[in-house]
């Protein structure tokens, strides 16, 4: 399908509305960053719990070398940022860099608080998981990321499509948990980390898309810029699409209908690509409880 862009109708954008939306995004993600940082500074790190990811690895290094967790996490993330920028472009990893930096600063800031919970480590794992899941959920809800294993997962999935992003992140977390058992010299520390990860995962799901157990979401996009929108989703959002030719019932003008299946946590990010490419696009988000195929479950 070849679109003559010169013949396409001009699409006006409400710049003020978009600026306010971006400001709201960063405010909500900053709140999420603060809540996530509290989970590390007040619950998990003081009780020897390293619940996976780059922050978990930084927690272990803090235990061994007494170096700040936030600064260490940011240093460990830096080569991953570069890898992500090379793979997806600096524009697409900008939010990740900003939010990861904010999280790192807040972790070290909150570590200066003269009190933290040090007691029953089951309670520490439970509340650490709750705070972690709530914070990450708010960040994911507005299209952000804390980097780390997210970048590893997406980049390796692009190279090895038969490995899902979730599987790669799970393997990364299991490696950190295994290291925690060695560093702390106790299998219990690893088990507490598993509890924290399990709870945080459930809370993330609840924050991002409620308590639905849907496998995914189906976006139905009706646009006068089918070529531009499909390219934005294919290249920018790294999601497959199907384009169907259509005609407006009232206007009689040619339109494109794009079908795009996504995981629930990716809905906001994908919709952001759509709105930035064609602000007048008509988008329907539907539940899809049985998606199978590449990037989803087996048939």
Q: Read off the pLDDT of residues 76-116 as tens digits, 9 standing for 90 and up.
A: 999 999 888 887 667 668 888 999 999 999 999 999 988 88
pLDDT bin (cut points 50, 70, 90) of residue 4 is very low
Least confident of 49-58, 72-81, 203-212, 282-291: 203-212
Record the tokens describing residue 185, joined without a space: 């010299």
Least confident of 25-34, 69-78, 289-298: 289-298
Q: If residue 182 lies in a helix (H) or strand (E), which one and from where to where?
A: helix 165-184
Query: Mean pLDDT over residues 210-232, rounded?
Result: 80
Q: With CA atoms as reference, report the closest residue to 98 among 142, 128, 52.
A: 142
Which stretch, 118-132, 151-165, 196-210, has highest mean pLDDT?
Answer: 118-132
SS3 291: coil
pLDDT the model gives residue 221: 93
pLDDT bin (cut points 50, 70, 90) of residue 6 is very low
| CA–CA distance, 291 with 209 (Å, rounded to integer) | 17
Span(s) in the chain for CATH 3.30.70.120:
213-288
Least confident of 106-115, 158-167, 222-231: 158-167
pLDDT the model gives residue 156: 83
pTM of the model: 0.72
Instruction: Give the 3-state secondary structure percentages of the chain, helix then strand then coil, rounded to 5.
Output: 65, 10, 25
The residues near 109 (Cβ < 8 Å, ≥ 6 apart) are 37, 70
Q: Read off the pLDDT of residues 262-291 as tens digits, 9 standing for 90 and up.
A: 877 778 778 888 888 888 899 988 877 666
In the predicted structure, residue 149 carries a pLDDT above the cut 90: no
Q: Read off the pLDDT of residues 238-249 as tens digits, 9 standing for 90 and up.
A: 788 989 988 887
Q: What is the mean pLDDT of the chain?
A: 84
213-288 placed in CATH 3.30.70.120: yes
pLDDT the model gives residue 248: 80
Least confident of 55-64, 197-206, 233-242: 233-242
pLDDT bin (cut points 50, 70, 90) of residue 119 is confident
């Amino acid at each position: 399908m070849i679109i003559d862009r010169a013949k396409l109708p001009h699409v006006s954008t409400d710049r003020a509305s978009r600026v306010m939306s971006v400001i709201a995004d960063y405010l909500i993600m900053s709140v999420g960053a603060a809540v996530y940082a509290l989970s590390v500074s007040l619950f998990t790190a003081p009780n020897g719990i390293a619940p996976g990811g780059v922050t978990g690895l930084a927690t272990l290094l803090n235990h061994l070398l007494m170096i700040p967790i936030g600064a260490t996490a940011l240093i460990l993330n830096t080569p991953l940022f570069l890898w992500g920028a090379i793979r997806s472009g600096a524009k697409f990893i900008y939010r990740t860099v900003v939010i990861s930096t904010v999280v790192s600063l807040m972790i070290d800031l909150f570590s200066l608080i003269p009190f933290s919970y040090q007691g029953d480590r089951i309670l520490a794992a439970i509340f650490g998981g709750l705070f972690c899941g709530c914070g990450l959920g708010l960040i994911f809800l507005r299209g952000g990321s804390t980097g780390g294993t997210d970048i590893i997962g997406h980049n390796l999935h692009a190279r090895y499509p038969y490995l899902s992003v979730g599987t790669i992140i799970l393997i990364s977390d299991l490696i950190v948990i295994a290291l925690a058992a060695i560093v702390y010299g106790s299998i219990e520390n690893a088990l507490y980390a598993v509890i924290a990860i399990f709870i945080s995962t459930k809370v993330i799901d609840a924050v991002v898309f409620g308590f639905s157990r849907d496998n995914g979401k189906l976006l139905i996009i009706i646009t006068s810029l089918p070529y531009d929108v499909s390219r934005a989703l294919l290249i920018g959002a790294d999601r497959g699409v199907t384009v169907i030719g259509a005609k407006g019932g009232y206007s009689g003008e040619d339109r494109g209908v794009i079908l795009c299946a996504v995981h629930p946590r990716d809905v906001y990010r994908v919709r952001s690509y759509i709105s930035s490419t064609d602000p007048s696009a008509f988008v329907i988000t539907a539940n899809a409880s049985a998606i199978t195929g590449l990037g989803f479950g087996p048939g």
